[in-house]
Amino acid sequence: MTKKLTGILLLTNILYAFTFYINLDGTGDFTTIQEGIDAATHGDTVLVYPGIYYENINYNGKNIIVTSLYLLTPVDSLIRQTIIDGNYNGSVVKFVSGESRNSVLNGFTIKHGYGIGNSGSGIYIRMSNPTLMNCIIEKNTALYGGGIASSQYSNPMLQKVTIRYNHAFRYGGGIVVYQYSNVTFDSSQLCNVYLNTAGWGSDISKGSSPSEELYVLVDTFTVIDPDNYFIYSMETYSFSAQNSKITPINDDLYVSAVGDDNNSGLTKDEPLQTIAYALTKISSDSLHPNTIHIADGIYSSSLNDQRFPLNCRSYVSLMGESEENTILDGDSLSMILFAYDKETDYAIKNLSLRNACQSSSIGCAEFVGNVNLLLENITFQNNYGWGRSALCCRDSCSVFLRNITAINNRGGKAIGLGGSSFMSVENCLIKGNVPGNGVNTGDGGGIVLDQYYAVLRNVEITENINNMTDWFGSSVAIAAVTQTTIDLINVTIGNNITPTGGAITCAQGVTMNITNSILYGDSPREIFLNGTVLPNTITIKNSLVQGGQSAIYNYGGNNTINWLDENLDTIPYFTGDGEYPYALSDSSLCIDAGVKDTIGLNLPEYDLAGYPRIVGGRIDMGAYEWQGTTSIRESNTDINPESYLLRNFPNPFNSKTTISFQLPIASQTNLTIYNINGQLVKTLMNAYASIGNYQLIWNGKNNSGQSVPSGMYLIKLSANRNVTRAKILLLK
Report the C-alpha gap between 529 and 521 in whole angstroms.
18
pLDDT tens profile 26-58:
999 999 999 999 999 999 999 999 999 999 999
Buried b (16+ CB within 10 A) or exposed e, 433-455: bbbbeeeeebbbbbbbbbbbbbb
The distance from CA 273 to its chain's CA centroid, rounded to whole angstroms, is: 23
Its sign, for the CA torsion 284, 285, 290, 294, is positive
- Spatial separation of the C-alpha atoms in residues 659 and 649, rounded to whole Å: 7
* pLDDT given at position 676: 72
What is the Cα–Cα distance from 121 to 117, expressed in whole angstroms? 10
Class of domain 4-244: mainly beta
Residue partners of 414: CB distance under 8 A and separation at least 6? 380, 388, 389, 390, 391, 406, 430, 433, 445, 446, 447, 464
Asked if the 289-512 domain carries CATH number 2.160.20.10, the reply is: yes
77 contact partners, CB below 8 Å, separation of at least 6:
none
| Residue intervals in the chain for CATH 2.160.20.10 | 289-512
Protein fold of 635-730: Immunoglobulin-like (2.60.40)
- Cβ contacts of residue 152 below 8 Å, gap of 6+? 126, 127, 179, 180, 181
Q: Give the residues across from 404 on adjacent strands.
A: 378
SS3 content of the chain, % helix, strand, coil (to 5): 5, 45, 45
What is the pLDDT, as a whole number, of residue 115? Answer: 86
d(CA 541, CA 552): 14
Neighbours of 552 (CB within 10 A): 21
Strands 326-329, 344-354: pairing is parallel
Which residues of the chain have a pLDDT value below 50? 1-15, 630-638
Tell me what pLDDT residue 406 has.
97
Question: How far is Cα 207 from Cα 639, in angstroms, rounded to an integer?
Answer: 66
Pairing of strands 485-494, 447-462: parallel
DSSP H/E element including 323: none
